[in-house]
A and B are shown apart, each in its own frame.
Chain A
Amino acid sequence: MRDCRPILLLEDDTVDAMTVKRALKDLNVLNQLVRVTNGEEALVYLKDDSKEKPCVILLDLNMPKMNGIEFLKVAKADEKLKRIPAIVLTTSKDDQDRLKTFQLSIAGFVVKPVDYVKFVEAMRIVNLYWTLSELPNSEQESTNEKLQANTAGGR
């Protein structure tokens, strides 16, 4: 990745999460991988100011409690969280899942190959792209918040 902030992984399946971890290690991606098992846990992590915000979010769609689409609806309505690129990493080839997540402005939809070598290749491309692309600074005040602060100050 372009910077050293952690990668947040939303994945309920422990074996799948371990595969992601192993692939990133094999690719020498140095970013820490923070894994949570559903959308609710992800929101708790993201809203905790003592935790470093991730550079990107990798998310599965089918999860208990709060699934990927429900999580995106909340994150993309939040001034600070909406900036973090969210990449779907799923086995779902469902057309509706694809359309709904693109409607929530995801930054990629990767169908996980079952074959490990192919999966590593997919992760290599994800890492390459997010090393080329700039990443947002998620700690900074949003432009909207700044605007509101300015207006409040002017009264």
Chain B
Amino acid sequence: MRSSKPILLVEDDNVDAMTVRRALKDLNVPNGIVHQLDGEDALEYLRSSDNKRPCVILLDLNMPRMNGIDFLKIIKNDDELKKIPVIVLTTSKDERDKMESFEFSVAGYIIKSTDYKKFVEALKTLNLYWTLSELPYPGA
């Protein structure tokens, strides 16, 4: 990523979260990963001023308590948090999920490959793009 700020991963499945961690490690992405289990936990993290702002948010859609779309509704109406690029990372190929996410101006919608090699390739492209692109909060 272009900044050294952490990546916020919102994912209820611990195995999936470990796969993301492993892929980013295999790609030598140095950013720390902050893992939250659902939208509510993620909001709590983002709203506490003690925590570092993430450079980007990787968001699963199907989660208990507060799902990805409900989370987007809240942060995209928050003047401070709406700046952070949100990339959906999901297994959902549902047209409605895709459309609702883009209505909240997500900065990417990636359907997770079940094949690990392909998944690493996808995260490699994601990392390349967000290293090329500027980010709202520069620096460390």
Which A residues have a C-beta under 8 Å from some C-beta of B? Answer: 76, 79, 82-85, 87, 95, 98-99, 102-103, 105-111, 122, 125-126, 128-129, 132-137, 140, 142-144
Q: What is the distance, in angstroms, from B25's C-beta to the closest C-beta of chain A? A: 20
CA distance A76 to B82 in the complex (A): 13
A76 touches B105 (CB 8 A): yes
| Complexed CA–CA distance, A142 and B96 (Å) | 10
In Å, the complex CA distance between A142 and B76 comes to: 17
- Choose among A95, A122, A136, A142 the residue with the greatest number of B CB atoms under 10 Å from its CB: A136
Our pick among B104, B105, B109, B125 for the contact of A134 (Cβ within 8 Å) is B109
Decide yes or no whether B79 CB sits under 8 A from chain A: yes
Q: Which listed residue, A87, A108, A133, touches B109 by the CB 8 Å rule? A: A133
- Does A99 contact B136, Cβ atoms closer than 8 Å? yes
A137 CB, min distance to chain B CBs, angstroms: 7
Partner of A107 from the list B105, B125, B126, B128 (CB cut-off 8 Å) is B105
Q: Which residues of B contact A106 (CB under 8 A)?
A: 105, 107
Q: Is B13 an interface residue (CB 8 A)?
A: no
Least CB distance from A45 to B in Å reads 19
When the two chains form the complex, which single residue of A82, A103, A133 contacts B103, counting CB atoms closer than 8 Å?
A82
Would A136 and B102 count as touching, CB distance under 8 A? yes
A-B contact pairs, 16 of them (CB 8 A): A76-B105, A79-B103, A83-B99, A102-B84, A105-B76, A105-B82, A106-B105, A107-B105, A107-B107, A110-B134, A125-B125, A125-B128, A125-B132, A134-B109, A135-B109, A142-B103
Quote the shortest CB–CB distance from A67 to chain B (angstroms).
Answer: 18
The answer to whether A102 and B136 touch (CB under 8 A), given A83-B102, A137-B99, A142-B103, is yes
Given contacts A99-B83, A103-B83, A137-B95, contact A129 B129 (CB under 8 A): yes
Q: Contacts of A105 on B, CB cut-off 8 Å?
A: 76, 82, 104-105, 107
Count A-B pairs with CB separation below 8 Å.
99
A149 to B105 CA separation, bound complex (whole angstroms): 23
Q: Which residues of A contact B43 (CB under 8 A)?
A: none
Decide if the interface of chain B is mainly helix, strand, loop or mixed. Answer: mixed
Given A82-B105, A83-B103, A129-B126, does the pair A103, B98 have CB atoms closer than 8 Å?
no
A98-B134, A102-B136, A143-B99 known; A132 vs B122 contact (CB < 8 Å): yes
User: Residues of B with Cβ closer than 8 Å to A?
Assistant: 76, 79, 82-85, 87, 95-96, 98-100, 102-111, 122, 125-126, 128-129, 132-136, 138
Greatest chain A CB density within 10 A among B79, B84, B105, B111 is at B105
The reply to whether A111 and B110 form a contact with Cβ atoms under 8 Å apart is no
Bound together, the chains give a CA A98 to CA B3 distance in angstroms of: 14
Cα(A108)–Cα(B85), bound, Å = 8
